[in-house]
Chain A
Amino acid sequence: MIRLPLVLVFAALLFSAGVYGVLARRNAVMVLMAIELMLNAVNLNLIAFSASLKDVSGQVFALFVIAVAAAEVGIGLALVILLFRNRASINVDEVDLLKW
């Protein structure tokens, strides 16, 4: 059985990669994928603790997160498509209508 701290460190690295992606990438699709990384890091944590504590509710939460993530990606991609149709670009830097 894989030791818990190893999994947690991996999940943390994965989450950090996601944060970096969200903050640094300009392509909206890449931002969405980075968000996906962060969600899956959380899923990893949930399942690792579930296995370690012998409690199945963590795995149930992970399933919910996967479902929500699917819906979120669906909406996110729809937004990206609309963005592209209006602007002919999916660069998040250019989407700054909310300023001032």
Chain B
Amino acid sequence: MVALVHILAQATTEPGVSDAKAPNWFMAHAYIIPLLLMASAALTLVLGRRTPGKGPVYGIAALAVGLVFSLGCLVGIAQGSGVATDGVHWFTIGGFSVDAGYYVDGLAATMLVVVTGVSLMVHLYAMGYMHGDKRYTWFYFVLSLFTAAMLVVVLAPNLFELLVGWEVMGVCSYLLIGHWYEEHVNSSAAIKAFITTRIGDVPFMFGIFACIVIAGGTTSNIQAVGQAVGVSHDTVLVTAAALLLFGGTIGKSAQFPLHVWLPDAMAGPTPVSALIHAATMVAAGVYLVGRMFEVFVHADPAVLTIVGTIGAITMLGAAILAMVQDDIKRVLAYSTLSQLAYMVAGLSMGETGYSAAFFHLFTHAFFKGLLFLAAGSLIHAVHSNNMSDMGGLRAKMPVTFITMLIGSLALAGFPLIGGFWSKDELLVTASTGHLWLFVMFLVTAIATAFYTGRMLFLTFYGPFRGHAEPHESPSIMTAPLVVLAVATIAAGFLGSPFTHYVFVDWVHFGTPEVHSFHGAIAVFGSVAALAGLGLGWLLYGPKRERETDPLQRGLGPVWGVLQHRYYIDDFYFNDIVRPVRDSVSAGVVWFNQNVLDGVVNGAAVTARGGSGAIMWIDRNIIDGAVNGAGTAMETFGKGLRLVQSGKVQWYAVGLFAGVIALSLFIFR
């Protein structure tokens, strides 16, 4: 908070400016956006319950203003302004000093729009979805706090500030996954998510230390680190820094082998899944790689190969798991893993993949947020997460159907819609020198289209298999769906030939690479999407009557492996969590019995002895002093009152004696 006060104090000073066109007013005052959200979080917590509507109004107002600011920043970037950055001194430890400030470039500006935009829609949507929840106000408090933290990460000019936002996001994620903590499953999922991401955070922190060392030990400023990396001859250190930082990405963006928390995180309310576990927080890991890209570029090339390999494994592995899920949110969760891996793999292609990866992040945020909110609308209607309880909802929920169809087509890479353009850019980039990634992208695209089609057909087509009476959701929920659907389509076109790939001008590393439309590759992508969707239609189309999932029959024993998520979760639990937990808990019990109880008992004995001594002192010395003072006064008074005889002639004697004494004194 102290830092925030500093920022406020310096709000009137002119920010630092570097190259290109001067940043516009919005960019120079970008720090206001997270401050607004922090204020709204505080207001929601303090006044939320007493406000009409129970609290969402603060977050929504802050986000509406924040979105205007974010769009203002993006306009500044679009007009060709350079980086806007400024900060105020936060603290110094030895020679190492940290500023609190902001850093707005094209990447940050686009992320600002994503975060404020999706968060605003989720805030609105949750007014319907969470209506009547017993922790409604608390929910909005954490939602606002999360958004503030995410904005801090996006705008962080140095690694330390980034880490602060990063960890606050983690806490908010934990709180929101466990929002309905009365059910054990939910609180377990929250703990799993928190601890798993922390495993990634440990290397991340050491990566930060490595970056600080590279930058000379005096600063963690991202620009300074970037410049220091460029001239550093210590390739080993830079490589280590890149690998350690990527550990944070693996945890936060749920990449293999730390992907296990994200599907379980679906235990949280669906708006949370949309905002945190699809559109924004999980993208922070990818964002981190982009922010520290200098480190990755200058590290040993093996680092990017590792990044690409992990991306490729997660991409296809998660997409295959998404095919066999019944829980619609889990389908989307594995899809998110897979799409995040697209971005990670895109970044692994180096400078040329940078724009494509972040364009995919941009489009993905909108269409995945849309898909989750639409799924929430379905869940709201049928009171079940399972697609086996849905079906035939097309006519009953037309708005949800249309918007979810747009989101699904964007996810599947259907021509001209949303993700098609970003996947196309990734494919174009991979086609020059990254053949194996190109193949992985294509195969995953087919798998993606397949599970997307399966999801669509199981929910909206065929007979209704549930028990509830489905109905269209209230307009407070459907309106955000429509807005996000429009945004999904619009976002896609920002990276299309129709707008001359304007997104690449905004977000690029080094010089903007020239993109051109490759008809052949677009055909590849479209064919993959249509093949997947067609396959889905064949297996899950409405004509099919089936008791068991056709994949279950087709895959045989593999189905079991997939249902057990390749046994990775079981392996983690049985061979890592349980041994560690059991030995730790045994140690804790021993420690409690022997050390803590000993300390407590010792403290009690000491306190009793001490209080005895204090009581003696109180009785004898303090009370003695008080009583002694009283007695002394009484004795003195008794003596003195004898003088007051009442005999007036004695007084006169005193008077004359006094006169004589004075006379003697004066005339001696």
Contact = CB atoms under 8 A, between A and B. Distances in A.
A, B from the same assembly: yes
Interface in B624-668: 641, 644-649, 652-653, 656
Interface residues of A, number: 13
A95 B647 CA distance: 7
A27 B155 CA distance: 106
A99 B641 CA distance: 8
A2 interface: no
B656 A19 contact: yes
Contacts of B644: 98-100
B657 to A, nearest CB: 10
21 contacts: A19-B656, A22-B649, A22-B652, A23-B649, A23-B652, A23-B653, A23-B656, A24-B649, A92-B647, A92-B648, A92-B649, A93-B649, A95-B646, A95-B648, A96-B645, A98-B644, A98-B646, A99-B647, A100-B641, A100-B644, A100-B646
Nearest to B650: A23
Contacts of B649: 22-24, 31, 92-93
Given A19-B656, A23-B649, A95-B646, 7 more contacts: A22-B649, A23-B653, A23-B656, A92-B648, A93-B647, A97-B646, A98-B646
Q: How large is the interface on B (under 10, 10 to 19, 20 to 34, 35 or more residues)?
A: 10 to 19
Contacts of A98: 644, 646, 648
A-B interface, 8 closest residue pairs, ranked by CB to CB distance from nearest: A99-B646, A96-B646, A98-B646, A99-B645, A100-B641, A96-B647, A99-B644, A23-B649
Contacts of A31: 649
Nearest to B659: A19
A47 to B, nearest CB: 23
Nearest to A97: B646
Nearest to A25: B649
A20 B113 CA distance: 112
Interface string A5-26: 0000000000000010011100
B663 to A, nearest CB: 13
Interface in A1-53: 19, 22-24, 31
Contacts of A19: 656
Interface string A54-90: 0000000000000000000000000000000000000
Interface core residue of A23, A24, A95, A97 (most chain B CB under 10 Å): A23
Nearest to B656: A19
Contacts of B653: 23
A99 B646 CA distance: 4
A21 to B, nearest CB: 11
B607 to A, nearest CB: 52
A51 B645 CA distance: 44
B648 to A, nearest CB: 6
Contacts of A93: 647, 649
Contacts of B652: 22-23
B173 to A, nearest CB: 84
Contacts of B645: 96, 99
B140 to A, nearest CB: 78
Interface in B546-594: none
Nearest to B647: A96
A57 B87 CA distance: 92
